[in-house]
C-alpha cells in the first residue's frame, strides 16, 4: 500500500507555492555556469558539491544558506536567469507539478548591465518557453494531461549588504544618511512599484510580493509602505513569517502587511515565543490567531524538509506543526522552499507528509487541492476555477485507478 501511495503521489497533479529560484538550480548547470563566470566552487562534481555544500542535513541555518553564495553568483546575467528558469520549469513539469509560483529577488540579481526589471523578464522568458513546449504537447492538446501554469513572486529583502549586489550598494551609498532599516524599506517600496509597473504595462505574470531574509530583529512592519502599495494595486501578498520568530510575526504580517498567505508559519503555535507583555493570555492569542487564519483561508506555505534542516527543535516530520495545522483546518500547501539546497521535490515532500502523518485519502486530497485553490493564479478567477476543476477531475481519475472507490472520491 505504501508503494502504491508513493506511486500515486508521483502521478497526481501538484503545485508548489513556495520555492526560490536561486535555491533550485541543477548542479551540472551550476558547475557549467560557475566555470564560465569564473566563480570558484568547493568542488566541480555533483558528488563533491552534495557532500560539501548541498547536503541532506545541515548543522544550522548559516550552513544551509551557504550554498546561495554560489548559486546567486552565477545568476547575474539575463541569459543565465532565463536558462535556469527554463530548466526549473522542466524539472517541475517532469514530476507532474502543473502550477508553480517561483520567487526571487530581482534587486539581488541586478548586476552590471542587468537591471532588476530585465531580471524579471528573463525569468519569465525561461518559464514561458518551458510552459509553451509542454502545453503544445499532444497529451495536453488531447486532454490526457494538464497544462502547466506559473506565476512570479518578487521578493524584497528584510536586510541586505553592499556586497550582495550593485543595486544594494548604490542604494546604501545614496541613503548613507538614513538608518539601515529605512534603506531596506526604500528598496522594498521600489520593488513593489516595479512589480505593479511590469504587471500593468508588460502584462508579466507577477502574482505576488514577498519579504524574505532574516526575520528576528527585522520586523515586516518596517516594510509596511511597500506592502500597502502592492495592496492598493491588487498585487497579492505573502510574507516569510513564523519561520524564526513567533506568532507575533505572523500576526504582524496579516494585520500590517495584508498577507494573503504566510511563508512557513512554523512557530504559529509556539506561545512561549510571544514577547509582547500586553498579551497576557498567550494560549488564547495563539488559538484566536489560528482560528482567524483558518476562517479567512489565509494559506500557509509549509516546507517540511527545509524546516527540519534549519530548525533543530523539530526532529522529525511527525513532530512538525503541519499536523496541527491540518487538524485545525488551516489551508495548508506543501512546498519545497529550495529544490537543490534541500535536496527535495514536491513529490518527496508530499510523500513524507502523507506517510508520516498517516493522512486519510480525503485529507491527502484536500492537501493537494489546497495548493491550487490557494494559488495567486495569474489568470481570471473564472480561469482559475476551471483549472482547479480539471485538477480535481484528474486527481479523482488517478485515485480510482490506483485505489478504486475511496473516502475521498465519494
For the chain, the structural domain boundaries read: 2-403
pLDDT exceeds 70 at position 31: yes
**At 3, is the pLDDT very low, low, confident or very high (cuts 50, 70, 90)?**
confident
Asked if 194 contacts 167 with a C-beta cutoff of 8 angstroms, the reply is no
Mean pLDDT (the chain, rounded):
95
**At 128, is the pLDDT very low, low, confident or very high (cuts 50, 70, 90)?**
very high
What is the per-residue pLDDT across 146-203, written as a single tens digit (0 to 9) for each?
Answer: 999 999 999 999 999 999 999 999 999 999 899 999 999 999 999 999 999 999 999 9
Q: How are beta strands 206-212 and 332-334 bridged, if at all?
A: unpaired
CA distance 113 to 320: 44
**Which phi and psi angles does 360 have, rounded to 5°?**
-70, 160
pLDDT exceeds 90 at position 137: yes
Closest residue by Cα to residue 217 from 158, 274, 268: 158
CA distance 270 to 325: 13
CA dist list (Å): 243 to 55, 255, 301, 386: 20, 18, 11, 33
CA dist list (Å): 331 to 44, 236, 261, 351, 395: 41, 16, 9, 18, 18
pLDDT for 182? 96
pLDDT exceeds 50 at position 408: no
| Residue that is written with C-alpha cell 475521498 in the block | 408
Give the three cell numbers for residue 280: 497576557
CA distance 145 to 142: 8
CA distance 203 to 213: 28
CA distance 383 to 399: 24
**At 68, is the pLDDT very low, low, confident or very high (cuts 50, 70, 90)?**
very high
pLDDT for 216? 81
Eight-class DSSP state of 337: B
Residue in 243, 248, 301, 349 annotated catalytic:
243
Lowest mean pLDDT among 219-223, 313-317, 319-323: 313-317
pLDDT exceeds 80 at position 1: no
Phi-psi label, residue 299: left if phi above 0, alpha if psi -120 to 50, beta otherwise: beta
CA distance 275 to 345: 36
- Tell the burial category of 313 from Cβ atoms under 10 Å away from its Cβ (0-12, 13-18, 19+): exposed
**At 319, is the pLDDT very low, low, confident or very high (cuts 50, 70, 90)?**
very high
Asked if 325 contacts 300 with a C-beta cutoff of 8 angstroms, the reply is yes
pLDDT for 217? 86
Percent share of the chain, pLDDT over 70:
98
Asked if 150 contacts 93 with a C-beta cutoff of 8 angstroms, the reply is no
What mean pLDDT do residues 251-259 have? Answer: 97
Our answer to whether residue 270 is catalytic in this structure is no
Give the three cell numbers for residue 160: 541586505
Phi-psi label, residue 234: left if phi above 0, alpha if psi -120 to 50, beta otherwise: left
**Which phi and psi angles does 74 have, rounded to 5°?**
-100, 0
The total of other beta-carbon atoms located within 10 Å of residue 41's CB is: 18
Closest residue by Cα to residue 208 from 303, 299, 125: 299
SS3 218: coil
**At 409, is the pLDDT very low, low, confident or very high (cuts 50, 70, 90)?**
very low
Q: Which CATH superfamily is domain 2-403 in?
A: Metal-dependent hydrolases (3.20.20.140)
Q: At what angle do helices 2-11 and 346-357 cross, to 10 degrees?
A: 150
CA distance 103 to 105: 7
Amino acid at each position: 500500500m505504501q508503494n502504491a501511495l508513493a506511486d500515486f503521489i508521483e502521478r497526481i497533479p501538484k503545485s508548489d507555492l513556495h520555492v526560490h529560484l536561486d535555491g533550485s538550480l541543477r548542479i551540472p548547470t551550476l558547475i557549467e555556469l560557475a566555470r564560465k563566470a569564473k566563480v570558484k566552487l568547493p568542488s566541480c562534481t555533483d558528488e563533491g558539491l552534495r557532500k560539501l555544500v548541498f547536503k541532506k542535513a545541515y548543522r544550522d541555518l548559516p550552513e544551509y544558506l551557504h550554498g546561495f553564495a554560489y548559486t546567486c553568483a552565477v545568476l547575474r546575467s539575463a541569459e543565465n536567469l532565463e536558462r535556469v528558469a527554463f530548466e526549473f520549469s522542466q524539472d517541475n513539469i517532469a514530476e507532474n507539478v502543473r502550477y508553480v509560483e517561483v520567487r526571487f529577488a530581482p534587486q539581488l540579481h541586478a548586476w552590471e548591465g542587468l537591471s532588476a526589471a530585465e531580471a524579471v523578464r528573463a525569468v519569465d522568458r525561461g518559464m514561458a518557453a518551458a510552459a509553451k513546449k509542454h502545453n503544445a504537447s499532444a497529451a495536453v492538446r488531447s486532454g490526457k494531461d494538464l497544462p502547466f501554469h506559473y506565476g512570479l513572486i518578487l521578493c524584497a529583502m528584510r536586510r541586505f549588504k553592499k556586497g550582495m549586489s550593485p543595486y544594494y550598494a548604490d542604494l546604501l551609498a545614496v541613503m548613507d544618511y538614513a538608518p539601515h532599516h529605512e534603506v531596506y524599506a526604500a528598496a522594498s517600496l521600489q520593488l513593489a512599484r516595479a512589480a505593479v509597473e511590469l504587471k500593468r504595462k508588460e502584462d508579466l505574470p507577477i502574482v505576488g510580493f514577498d519579504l524574505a531574509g532574516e526575520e528576528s530583529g527585522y520586523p515586516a512592519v518596517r516594510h509596511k509602505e511597500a506592502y500597502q502599495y502592492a495592496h492598493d494595486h491588487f498585487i497579492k501578498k505573502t510574507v516569510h513569517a513564523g519561520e524564526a520568530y513567533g506568532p507575533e510575526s505572523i500576526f504582524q504580517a496579516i494585520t500590517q502587511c495584508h498577507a494573503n498567505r504566510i511563508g512557513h508559519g512554523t512557530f504559529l503555535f509556539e506561545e512561549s515565543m510571544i514577547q509582547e507583555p500586553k498579551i497576557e493570555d498567550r494560549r488564547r492569542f495563539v488559538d484566536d490567531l489560528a482560528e482567524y487564519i483558518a476562517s479567512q483561508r489565509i494559506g500557509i506555505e509549509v516546507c517540511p524538509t527545509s524546516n527540519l534542516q534549519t530548525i533543530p527543535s523539530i526532529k522529525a516530520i511527525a513532530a512538525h506543526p503541519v499536523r496541527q495545522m491540518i487538524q485545525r483546518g488551516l489551508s495548508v500547501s506543501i512546498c519545497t522552499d529550495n529544490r537543490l539546497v534541500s535536496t527535495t521535490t514536491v513529490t518527496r515532500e508530499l510523500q513524507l507528509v502523507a506517510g508520516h502523518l498517516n493522512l486519510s485519502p480525503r485529507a491527502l486530497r484536500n492537501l493537494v487541492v489546497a495548493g491550487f485553490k490557494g494559488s495567486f493564479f495569474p489568470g481570471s478567477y473564472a480561469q482559475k476555477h476551471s483549472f482547479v476543476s480539471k485538477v480535481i477531475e484528474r486527481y479523482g481519475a488517478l485515485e480510482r485507478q490506483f485505489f478504486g472507490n475511496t473516502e475521498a472520491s465519494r
